[in-house]
Chains A and B, each alone.
Chain A
Amino acid sequence: MSLIRIEEVVKKYQLGEVPVLALRGVSLTIEQGEFFAIMGASGSGKSTMMNIISCMDRPTSGRYFLDGNDVAGLDKNSLAKVRNRTIGLVFQNFNLLQTATALENVGLPLLYAGRPAKERDEAAIKILTKVGLGERLHHFPTQLSGGQQQRVAMARALANNPKILMADEPTGNLDSQSSEDIMAFLTQLNKEGLTIVLVTHDNEVARYARRVIHLKDGQILKEETR
């Protein structure tokens, strides 16, 4: 059974009087353990697709099976639960709580999973150590470099042991060295069995993935396997 299976997914927005079709019936499957990348120019629908796959948004029509469950028709709160348990999200601009320490940021998904404070802290320490930030547990994002912040974000994404890690332009705001470090880390995680889905416009980044699809005008243009 595929981990992710979407069928004829359409996403329509209403911009005033004009309806916009961001996705025009896209279908694909992603298997467990894959390193998958979605590429496309601005306006190709790649962000929209990412939003739907990561359960931040719902399709206008079509089906989406995540780990065997039909998630296309779930309500806002149920989607939140799915995100909390199954998907780890990493963003281009890190999206860390500026007023919380690295430790508190990483513990956030665990807070909403209902874990007590002690458990949260222990898990967060373990993961932060794994990403190499064991010395900076109580630092605030403003005290960390871009690369370090993204590592905190990744630690947060991994905090609840998700099945999939989804990253939207994870290296977009990083220098080349940090970008390499991040991508190397993703590769390592993938080797350990984590499914990775990436959205990027950068070929260099897409090279790390084993399967890449190209989107244009809301449809899959082509697919390549490395």
Chain B
Amino acid sequence: MPSLNVNGSVLQYDAEPDTPLLWVLREQLRLTGTKYGCGVAQCGACTVHIDGAPTRSCVLPISAVAAGAKIVTIEGLSADGSHPVQRAWVALDVPQCGFCQSGMIMAAAALLRDKPKPTDADIDAAITNICRCGTYNRVRAAIKAAGQGGAVKAAGLAIEDADGSTS
């Protein structure tokens, strides 16, 4: 059986070569954090990293994934939700419905790796994902906070966590 390197593990799958990577991840490997939103690479809900590059997996046939390519999905971004982007997301309560957020977070993590202190223009150019709930301004604030070493207070949202801390 063919296999893929996903989140550090080599996993076998059984799918026709023209099956999009998205559906191999979701239906063969049971990694459902990566979402189907449009199927035409418009919305970015299916964004994963392939050898570090943010990639829309809904239009990428599995046959086009290079042998040995390292794929990272939202489940593999960190073992415990501790990636700086995830931490900023939680501190600033970014998600609303949350459905687009896996893709947003993967796009944001890739941006910050390339540009640790992104400008607004960098963020506009890199984050083309669609969010219908309208979380864009908190996404922007969280990317900036993550880029500044977790400086979530700068966002000025004053969100109180259950433990009494305020971000």
Q: Do A and B bind each other?
A: no
A residues engaging B (CB < 8 A)? none
B residues engaging A (CB < 8 A)? none
